[in-house]
Chains A and B, each alone.
Chain A
Amino acid sequence: MKTAVFKIWRGDANGGEFSEYSTEVTEGMVVLDAVHAIQAQQANDLACRWNCKAGKCGSCSAEINGVPKLMCMTRLDAIPLDEPVTLEPMRAFPCIRDLATDVSWNFRVKKSIKKFNPRPPDAPDGTWRIAQEDIDRVQEFRKCIECFLCQDVCHVLRDHHLQEKFIGPRFLVFVAALEMHPLDTEDRLPELKTAGGIGYCNITKCCTKVCPEHITITDNAIIPLKERIVDEFYDPLGKLLKFFRPKI
């Protein structure tokens, strides 16, 4: 039977090192299976997160040969096995232990964003009428499984550590979903410019490339938000026109 060698980062917030494990490879195996096999047979205390094993929960994010990916959706037959496969935790977040990182910052950011606030119901029974084509875009954004891989890859967070000034692509998508929700009445653009730090994004599109849900983060969420901000804050005529335009 074929075997593969994994160099897995073992350590915590104070540092660590790579340890090598070799494990048998069976047909259709994914990286998470290999981690589980190593955990069960060689390193009972190897820390990693997972839940669904089907790309639905966004728990198993890690860097595989340096690329941010879901371990449960990365097949071993899609990566070269003639040399060791490196597995590291997401580097943009503090390490807790081994492959598990402290992603609590993301949860704090989300709480700081104004919540959904719908217009009054359209029908007497308290329901709304919405056309499917008006929500296709919002549904794209709501596919997000909060794996935070886009946050991990974004240079503003990863290299420049501007966590206090920039909410990152995940939450730009989140704000876009709220702003483009046909029922929502809130305006989040002023905060997006200031606390959200949308200006730090220079449209490198790295986030879009790693998104396992194939959300076109940059083109469909970030750029339209940037345009709205320009309309609202730098274009007095556009701002005036906005009064006569229904919110879309």
Chain B
Amino acid sequence: MSNYPTLEYDVLVIGAGGAGLRSAIEASAAGVRVGLICKSLLGKAHTVMAEGGMAAALANVDDRDNWKVHFADTMRGGQYINNWRMAELHAKEAPDRVRELEAWGAVFDRTADGRILQRNFGGHRYPRLAHVGDRTGLELIRTLQDHGIHQGIETHMEHTVVTLLKDGDRVAGAFGYDRERGRFKVFKAKAIILATGGIGRAYRITSNSWEYTGDGQSLAYHAGAELIDMEFVQFHPTGMIWPPSVMGILVTEGVRGEGGVLLNNEGKRFMFSGIPDAYKAQTADNPEEGWRYTQGDKNARRPPELLTRDHVARCIVDEVKAGRGSPHGGIFLDIAWIKEKLPNAAEHIKKKLPSMYHQFMQLANLDITKEPMEVGPTTHYIMGGVRVDAETQMSNVPGLFAAGEVAAGLHGSNRLGGNSLSDLLVFGKRAGEFAAKYSKESSSSQINDVQVEEAARQALEPFERSVKATGTAEGPYQIQHDLQEMMQNLVGIVRREREMTRALAELDQLWRRAKNVIVHGHREYNPGWHTALDLKNLLTVSEAITCAAIQRKESRGGHFREDFPNKDSSEGKMNIVVRKDADGSMNVRRENIPEMPPDLKQIIEEMK
């Protein structure tokens, strides 16, 4: 036995955002022992920042909505490379998951007849997002947290997992350290659920926090799990761009849902030009109709500002390139204009978008009820991730499950706004249920001390190197910074083969530098050390994104290639799968998407 403290669970959940909390609640309800680990304090995970809402076909605001429409919207938004079974389950189960939150104490905004209110969002045909002002994520995470703490779940806050432990093929546990004291711990478990979120910190401009270093994708990859769709990174069209210190911070799509419009420096609503064919029939062709849509007119079609995020982000890039951008290199997002339409517009905006009002007032000295905001694209979400079984959320590694942003499949090549929060609930629940079941049916796993000692040795290397450090040794922050800069420039919104090949060469260099990184000081709450250990994950996911992006020779959803600017129907029939080879190198292959069953095909036809 290794001499690190060892905790034993049936199900270990790594991550305490919406997906992790929901799965921990489900697993503990099934009567198994559940441990929950997170890098930050409870309630601070990324989910807390979600603003706009969660998508579910409750049909409270528009009774034409149902799961079939939601399913078709999700598939269209993902441009049909989604896992159709996940999209089906998601659309069917999301309404129950939202109602369940209300039973646990969530307080959603209401309709006039007292039901849960729903709002418009990009790519959703009807008003579908249950919300609480623009702080829906806070409501979601707090509700789950406050419910979960009474469920007998054992929580380890401010702990970071650095390696998954295996017992033969199956997963046996996790090895990590507590951030406060820097002590190592072994978590033994029959089943593990990864709910670690995304990868945004691989890019310089991002809406994501320090936590988003791709830990789960990387842990899974190094444990032998397959990743798919890694080329699909979502660049949200509206991040703050000024002042520099707030660059990347999100401006919710809810602003456009409430009537906000995008303008270039000539004051023109440029989104009306170039509406994609697949959306022409459902998109307004004049400002008046668009406005009526945002105000709930059921006969109006949605304004082009509410087209999918990939499209809007690219239109903004084009507009800026053509010299029609705002002073700081973005475009204008204007909600103040609605005062032409509403008598009490300023109050209305503050009520509907309180945290946006607050955010711009405090961080940019700008009153959004009076002036337009300057915005530009920001790295926001990764559609790709751990490949899982649609029903159970288990990966190809027995006992290893994944849910939430770290898992892939539901969103295809582009995620619709609001479909993440519902994803967390639907598949968090499923992962919890099936991980508990798996653990009940499995024998106890064995921890391999050699793996533990090796992981501990690697984690301490940066300190040891600093003792005998030579002239070329460097700290972790510069390496992280250079990686972010490189990914932003070479594997960003607009991609080219030549640049991505160069990115691979640069990644090689960065790997080398990371292997020599040094850390000063001691192990207690040392962010330098934490950053050094995160580098492996950031580099792993950056490499996976780049390799997959080189493979996909077309443009689709979040993946846009200047050298292949169009969609290609044969490329659209496959997913790109990344896996670690026996020799440690990254294996990238193509795999055909299974044929969609006739009943689902028919739904898609009907909704065209």
Judge whether B243 and A29 touch: CB under 8 Å.
Answer: yes
A-contact 0/1 string along B206-236, CB 8 Å cutoff: 0001110000000000000000000000000
B91 at interface (Cβ–Cβ under 8 A)? Answer: no
Whose C-beta in chain B lies nearest to the C-beta of A114? B150
A49 at interface (Cβ–Cβ under 8 A)? Answer: yes
Judge whether B104 and A116 touch: CB under 8 Å.
Answer: yes
A231 to chain B, nearest CB (A): 24
A26 at interface (Cβ–Cβ under 8 A)? Answer: yes
B526 at interface (Cβ–Cβ under 8 A)? Answer: yes
A218 to chain B, nearest CB (A): 21
* Complex contacts, B180 vs chain A, CB 8 Å: 96-97, 100, 102
B256 at interface (Cβ–Cβ under 8 A)? Answer: no
Judge whether A51 and B102 touch: CB under 8 Å.
Answer: no
Judge whether B138 and A56 touch: CB under 8 Å.
Answer: yes
Whose C-beta in chain A lies nearest to the C-beta of B110? A132
Whose C-beta in chain B lies nearest to the C-beta of A73? B362
Judge whether A52 and B209 touch: CB under 8 Å.
Answer: yes
Judge whether A73 and B107 touch: CB under 8 Å.
Answer: no
Judge whether A44 and B48 touch: CB under 8 Å.
Answer: no
B155 to chain A, nearest CB (A): 8
Judge whether B249 and A51 touch: CB under 8 Å.
Answer: no
- Report how far A29 CA is from B249 CA in the complex, Å: 14
* Complex contacts, A111 vs chain B, CB 8 Å: 149-150
Whose C-beta in chain A lies nearest to the C-beta of B151? A115
Judge whether A57 and B44 touch: CB under 8 Å.
Answer: yes
- Report how far A126 CA is from B348 CA in the complex, Å: 32
- Report how far A138 CA is from B245 CA in the complex, Å: 34
**A44-B150 contact in complex given A28-B242, A145-B138, A181-B105, C-beta closer than 8 Å:** no
B42 to chain A, nearest CB (A): 6
B-contact 0/1 string along A137-179, CB 8 Å cutoff: 0110011011000000000000000000000000000000010
**A44-B521 contact in complex given A28-B364, A50-B209, A135-B110, C-beta closer than 8 Å:** yes
Within A15-47, the residues touching B (CB, 8 Å) are: 26-30, 33, 39-41, 44-47
A129 to chain B, nearest CB (A): 3
Within B115-168, the residues touching A (CB, 8 Å) are: 115-116, 132-133, 135, 137-139, 142, 146-147, 149-150, 157
* Complex contacts, B104 vs chain A, CB 8 Å: 116
Judge whether B525 and A96 touch: CB under 8 Å.
Answer: yes
Judge whether B49 and A54 touch: CB under 8 Å.
Answer: yes
A59 at interface (Cβ–Cβ under 8 A)? Answer: yes
Name the one of A39, A73, A97 contacting B525, with C-beta atoms under 8 angstroms.
A97
B102 to chain A, nearest CB (A): 7
Name the one of B103, B242, B245 contacting A30, with C-beta atoms under 8 angstroms.
B245
* Complex contacts, B44 vs chain A, CB 8 Å: 49, 51, 57-59
B358 at interface (Cβ–Cβ under 8 A)? Answer: yes
Name the one of B43, B244, B475, B531 contacting A27, with C-beta atoms under 8 angstroms.
B244
A146 to chain B, nearest CB (A): 6
Judge whether A46 and B242 touch: CB under 8 Å.
Answer: no
**A29-B149 contact in complex given A51-B211, A56-B355, C-beta closer than 8 Å:** no
- Report how far A95 CA is from B116 CA in the complex, Å: 43
A-contact 0/1 string along B546-589, CB 8 Å cutoff: 00000000000000000000000000000000000000000000
B524 at interface (Cβ–Cβ under 8 A)? Answer: yes
B528 at interface (Cβ–Cβ under 8 A)? Answer: yes
B519 at interface (Cβ–Cβ under 8 A)? Answer: yes
- Report how far A12 CA is from B523 CA in the complex, Å: 13
What band does the interface of chain B fall in when counting residues whose beta carbon is under 8 Å from A? 35 or more
A-contact 0/1 string along B4-45, CB 8 Å cutoff: 000000000000000000000000000000000000111111
Interface of A is mostly: loop
* Complex contacts, B135 vs chain A, CB 8 Å: 56, 143
B-contact 0/1 string along A75-86, CB 8 Å cutoff: 100000000000
Whose C-beta in chain B lies nearest to the C-beta of A182? B107
Whose C-beta in chain B lies nearest to the C-beta of A145? B138
Judge whether B115 and A55 touch: CB under 8 Å.
Answer: no
Judge whether B529 and A45 touch: CB under 8 Å.
Answer: yes
A36 to chain B, nearest CB (A): 9
Within B259-307, the residues touching A (CB, 8 Å) are: none
A-contact 0/1 string along B91-118, CB 8 Å cutoff: 0000000010011110101100111100
Judge whether A33 and B525 touch: CB under 8 Å.
Answer: no
- Report how far A97 CA is from B354 CA in the complex, Å: 34
Residue in B46, B147, B524 whose Cβ sees the most chain A Cβ within 10 Å? B524
* Complex contacts, A103 vs chain B, CB 8 Å: 41
Judge whether A33 and B105 touch: CB under 8 Å.
Answer: no
A1 at interface (Cβ–Cβ under 8 A)? Answer: no
Name the one of A30, A107, A129 contacting B363, with C-beta atoms under 8 angstroms.
A30
* Complex contacts, B49 vs chain A, CB 8 Å: 51-52, 54, 56-57
A53 at interface (Cβ–Cβ under 8 A)? Answer: yes
B359 at interface (Cβ–Cβ under 8 A)? Answer: yes
* Complex contacts, B246 vs chain A, CB 8 Å: 28, 53-54
A118 at interface (Cβ–Cβ under 8 A)? Answer: yes
Judge whether A131 and B146 touch: CB under 8 Å.
Answer: no
**A107-B527 contact in complex given A54-B249, A73-B363, C-beta closer than 8 Å:** no
* Complex contacts, B244 vs chain A, CB 8 Å: 26-28
B476 at interface (Cβ–Cβ under 8 A)? Answer: yes
Name the one of A59, A121, A142 contacting B107, with C-beta atoms under 8 angstroms.
A142
A98 at interface (Cβ–Cβ under 8 A)? Answer: yes
Whose C-beta in chain B lies nearest to the C-beta of A58? B44
B370 at interface (Cβ–Cβ under 8 A)? Answer: no
Judge whether A116 and B146 touch: CB under 8 Å.
Answer: yes
- Report how far A12 CA is from B103 CA in the complex, Å: 42
Judge whether B113 and A115 touch: CB under 8 Å.
Answer: no
Judge whether B210 and A50 touch: CB under 8 Å.
Answer: yes
Judge whether B362 and A55 touch: CB under 8 Å.
Answer: yes
* Complex contacts, A47 vs chain B, CB 8 Å: 525-527
- Report how far A113 CA is from B244 CA in the complex, Å: 43
- Report how far A118 CA is from B104 CA in the complex, Å: 8
Name the one of A44, A129, A143 contacting B138, with C-beta atoms under 8 angstroms.
A143
Residues of A within 8 A of B (CB): 12, 26-30, 33, 39-41, 44-59, 73, 75, 96-98, 100, 102-104, 107, 110-111, 115-116, 118, 121, 126-132, 135, 138-139, 142-143, 145-146, 178, 181, 184
Q: List 9 A-B contacts (CB under 8 A).
A: A28-B364, A29-B245, A30-B245, A47-B526, A49-B40, A52-B49, A97-B180, A116-B147, A126-B99
Which 9 residue pairs are nearest across A and B when measured between Cβ atoms? A28-B243, A44-B528, A129-B114, A116-B105, A45-B521, A97-B525, A47-B525, A40-B477, A51-B209
